[in-house]
Structure 1
Amino acid sequence: MKHTFFLQNGGLLLQEKLTRGDQSPDGAKIFTSTELKKATNDFHDNRIVGQGGFGIVYKGFLSGNRIVAIKKSKQVDPNQVEQFVNEVIVLSRINHRNVVTFLGCCLETQAPLLVYEFINNGTLFEHIHDKAKARFFSWDMRLRVAAEAAGVLAYLHSAASPPIIHRDVKSANILLDTNFTAKVSDFGASKLVPIDQTQLTTVVQGTFGYLDPEYMQTNQLTEKSDVYSFGVVLVELLTRKKALSYDRPEEERNLANYFLSTLKQNNLLQVLDDSIVCEGNSEELTSVAMLPERCLHVKGEDRPSMKEVAMELEGLRLAGKHSWNQREPVEEESESLLSGKMNAFAIANGEGSIASIGYDSMRDHFSGR
């Protein structure tokens, strides 16, 4: 039976991917079901750290007491297995320090299992929207996390070969470690872009509130779809408002649209998070807000590239309190955002995706996203 599951779960292909030294992360392996049962106390309920419609995430202890996150799908169907295989293949092509480390997988169970580094400080979504956590999430910390996450997306678009479109960028898919270092996650929906193409025709997939409107209308997925979604994350960081909330008045439900309307009305300070207004001067914050405004252009061709976004955020972060336009990031600093030399790979899927049969986040998500 184990061998049947192994073949059913794409075992031969994945075994090849994980044993090829030029593409797989150091230490990535194929785990046995016995190892992971032992690590989770036979998948006991008290080891559950996150769950949703499509799967459960367990906290596990490998030999040597290494703590890991083990993702187990609730459902078994060909589409889910296809997404599982896609995720591992994408992970095998990523090499960036700000992505959660992928340790391997288990193919001997009916539903395949994925094993990752355990990140215990929650998601960016939680630190923005949980009042208790947000009190300690300063503007400087927010800016650093934004710069790190932008660097990952710039790497995926510009340095990975072939380029990768994430396709589900959102604050719930950016995890934070104990040092508040950003770890981009959830590559189940990601797409590898053939070298000779700049766009892909796909079934629309992503999360309402973050979805690129051009992609929704045309089904044409491009790197600029990630740029739009990241623009929404930047607005979340600036405002501490959720990307989509039916608890707000109708004109404010969609955060991106509401943010753009406040800019047109010159009412930016009205929508900014009070705590960051107290930390920084209004001129600096106004300059920062111009970046998501550009990311949220309706037409993808009018948006900046993620490399440009990453360079500007890193330039601002390094410039400190100086004006946004007073400092151009030097080339070495900008390129360092794309290098990601350390071994790191990631996943953690969020709830709320449409046309998605992916796995759920490593962390519980707050309701009302």
Structure 2
Amino acid sequence: MGGSRGPSKKERKRHILEHGGKLLEERIICCKDKCRCNPIRNFPAEQLLTATNNFQSCSVGSDRFFEWYKCSIDDLPVLIKKYNASEPKIFNHVLKNAYRDIAISSQMSSHRNALKLLGCCLEFSAPALVYEHAEYGPLNYVGGIDGDHSPLSWKMRLKVAIGTGNAIAYLHNAFSRPIVNRDIIPSHIFLDKDYVSKFSEFGFSIIIPEGETHVEDEIVGTLGFLDPNYFQTSRVTEHSDVYSFGVLLLVLVTGKNSYEMMEHEEKLGTITKYVIDLAEEEQFREIVDSEILGGGGIYEEKEEEFKAFIKLALSCTNLGERPSMIEVVKELIKIERLSPS
């Protein structure tokens, strides 16, 4: 936007009409039957432009489709997600994601482990979403917090896993038709001041039709977290999310990226293969992030806890039968109870 104050009045009115109609259609699709569709506050473009210095400062992270800004509106700290309209070839795809993100976020805003959507602005060429503030921002690609922060403790990582799992299980079960997220990755998980996880991204979400177990759709998501079954068949099921969540669990316990350099092979491989190879050799100390161990050994009770967590993660990434998200969360809660306070 350079030093300008954004789109002209005429452009803003046109954007509101275009986005407003499409967003209404999207909310009708997503809020069918008894689904709750919470009100969405409208934020004027001037407020967002002032808060972010015309989107020239306050940036705290970006994606191909959007950028995050940490700022204040009316003295209230907020996060703004501004969708990116700079790539003409994918512009319509970006808009589709933005509308779906707003519609699903509004339904999820009452959930403790979803980043609360405060409202949006439709006056730009692509929408901007305004969310509650999250003190520690998003997790990085290895499941940690960027900046001058201590590594997350094992208890905190369990808390993140359970909170995120609760949000995904809610997506799958709380509405008249299951909603599959399709992009469960660390950078979509924010932490508030109490280290409560807040899931933030619903643009790739898809609804399973009533009475169906799957839906066929284009392949979207993040490599390394993408369910191989979905990748090969284009069939989306709730278990597509279970796979991605399993990879997230492996990232949390290992402190490693979703792709790892395979020992002795000098090539990249999935974190799933990396963990399976070590688990088969009972090398659990090699699997668990050294930041969790703190240089100490794994005593017997703790080893059983890590084994249970790793076994659960690998059951989620199994190419055959997988547990449901509700079953996964129940197992995580059991593991948390094993962990000493």
TM-score bin (small chain): 0.7 to 0.9
Among candidates 35, 49, 52, match of residue 40 of structure 1: 52
Deviation of the 1:208 alpha carbon: 0.9
1:24 aligns with 2:37: yes
1:8 aligns with 2:18: yes
1:147 aligns with 2:157: no
Q: TM-score, normalised by structure 1?
A: 0.77
Question: Percent identity of the aligned residues?
Answer: 33
* Residue of structure 2 equivalent to 1:335: none
Segment drifting more, 236-245 vs 200-209 = 236-245
Distance 1:130 1:149 in 2: 16
Distance 1:55 1:22 in 2: 27
Distance 2:53 2:165 in 1: 38
What is the SS of the residue equivalent to 1:253? Answer: strand
Distance change >3 Å, CA 269–CA 60, structure 1 → 2: closer
User: With CA pairs under 8 Å and 6+ residues apart, which has the higher RCO, 1 or 2?
Assistant: 1
1:294 aligns with 2:315: yes
The answer to whether the 8 A contact 1:209-1:256 is kept is no
RMSD: 2.8
* Residue of structure 1 equivalent to 2:290: 274
Distance 1:288 1:70 in 2: 34
The answer to whether the 8 A contact 1:96-1:152 is kept is yes
Deviation of the 1:153 alpha carbon: 1.1
The answer to whether the 8 A contact 2:144-2:255 is kept is yes
- In the TM superposition, what are the counterparts of 1:1-369 in structure 2 within 5 Å? 1=10, 2-11=12-21, 13-14=23-24, 17=27, 23-25=36-38, 28-43=40-55, 45-63=56-74, 65-75=75-85, 77-94=91-108, 95-125=110-140, 128-129=143-144, 135-245=150-260, 249-250=265-266, 253-277=269-293, 278=296, 281-299=302-320, 302-321=321-340
Segment drifting more, 79-88 vs 217-226 = 79-88
Distance change >3 Å, CA 218–CA 285, structure 1 → 2: same
AA partner of residue 51 (structure 1): S
Query: Which 5+ residue runs of structure 2 have no aligned equivalent?
Result: 1-9
What is the SS of the residue equivalent to 2:193? Answer: coil
AA partner of residue 284 (structure 1): E
Deviation of the 1:81 alpha carbon: 1.5
Distance change >3 Å, CA 267–CA 194, structure 1 → 2: same
The answer to whether the 8 A contact 1:10-1:85 is kept is no
The answer to whether the 8 A contact 1:90-1:192 is kept is no
Query: Which 5+ residue runs of structure 1 have no aligned equivalent?
Result: 323-369
Distance change >3 Å, CA 109–CA 247, structure 1 → 2: farther
